[in-house]
Chain A
Amino acid sequence: MDLTSEHDHAASPPLDDRTGILELFARYAWALDTADFDAFLGTFVPDGVLVQVRADGSNTFAGAARLRKFATGLCGASWFPGRQHHVGNIVFGAGRPGVWWELCAYVLVTQARQASVTVEFSGYYHDECVKHGSTWAFRLRRYQAWADAARTLVRAPIDLASHRAGSA
């Protein structure tokens, strides 16, 4: 799916796009944190891709079957129940109003266990979101731990302004 056109640009998205993408982020977090796999798949387009970026080699999950496998594997881990994905500091990059946007966001994962709450993960998302019917969905979602990413990002920051969907 090539979404690029001469109309693509880096700008602040219109309010409807912004709230739609915020709603997408919330649906993703709720779906994963409550092990609702159908809802999780619903946050991606049918050929959507999730990439776990790691300094020592990334893992890619492309298409519904692989995405479901990712979610069931994660949620099946004994340590996963009790986690919540908190997302903020969204920085929008290039996009086309009502069609697609690229963005980065912080993600903090907490773990509630008995009476205690701990931080289990802090990192970032690097997403390409597309309008899919009446809602928004991920075409590509990448995530990486900040401890793993920080050194790389300092040397080679993500250029949201010049990136074009379809080139990743």
Chain B
Amino acid sequence: MTRPPSEDHCAIVDLLARGAWALDTGDAGDYARCFLPAGELVDFRRRPVETARGITAIRALAERWYAETSLRRQHHIGQLAFAPDPLDRGDHWRVRAYVFLVECLSPAGCALGWAGYYDDVVCRNGEGWLVRTREVRPWEGAVLANFEDPRG
């Protein structure tokens, strides 16, 4: 099976949307609760790469994002591409999704702030789905390796 049953597909879409809403409305706690208690968030936008393990650390990282950036942001998530779990675990899926950020600078104007993708592993937890691992990656580097002349 190369993609989840439709009910699970929809539940995973809901999970990613809930995460975006939580992040964009300043609810770092609910954003962290989209992850397993032992979940992991790796931010490849940062140099050095930053890793948060566990809900407390993920919440702290999200709160730091708020402190460092504008709160007037929206994460637009789509084009979910499913693949079997790399470790072949039951009730797990790898999900890659496009993400772009819109910075709402003023009531009159917005601008694109960032474009990249999530590379997640999600898993069923009781009745619902949660993120086990999330890599936040910019749209550059290895993902563009097929191009003859990838940008540095």
Enumerate chain A interface residues (CB-CB to B < 8 A).
15-16, 18-20, 22-23, 25-27, 29-30, 34-36, 75-76, 78, 80-82, 84-88, 110-113, 116-119, 135
Contacts and interface: CB of A to CB of B under 8 A. Distances in A.
A84 B98 contact: yes
B148 interface: yes
A86 B79 contact: yes
B10 A86 contact: no
B21 interface: no
Interface stretch (B27-35, B61-69, B135-143): B135-143
Contacts of A35: 144, 146-147
Contacts of A80: 147
Interface string B119-146: 0000000000000000000111001101
B114 interface: yes
B88 interface: no
Contacts of B82: 23
B81 A27 contact: yes
A17 to B, nearest CB: 9
Interface of B: 2-3, 6-7, 9-10, 76, 78-82, 96, 98, 100-101, 112-116, 138-140, 143-144, 146-151
B143 A78 contact: no
A152 B40 CA distance: 49
13 contacts: A15-B6, A16-B6, A19-B6, A25-B79, A81-B151, A84-B98, A86-B79, A110-B115, A112-B114, A112-B138, A117-B114, A118-B112, A119-B112
Nearest to B80: A26
Contacts of A87: 78-79
A108 to B, nearest CB: 9
Given A34-B144, A78-B149, A82-B144, A23 B98 contact: no
Contacts of A86: 76, 78-79, 98, 100
A81 B144 contact: yes
A23 B138 CA distance: 22
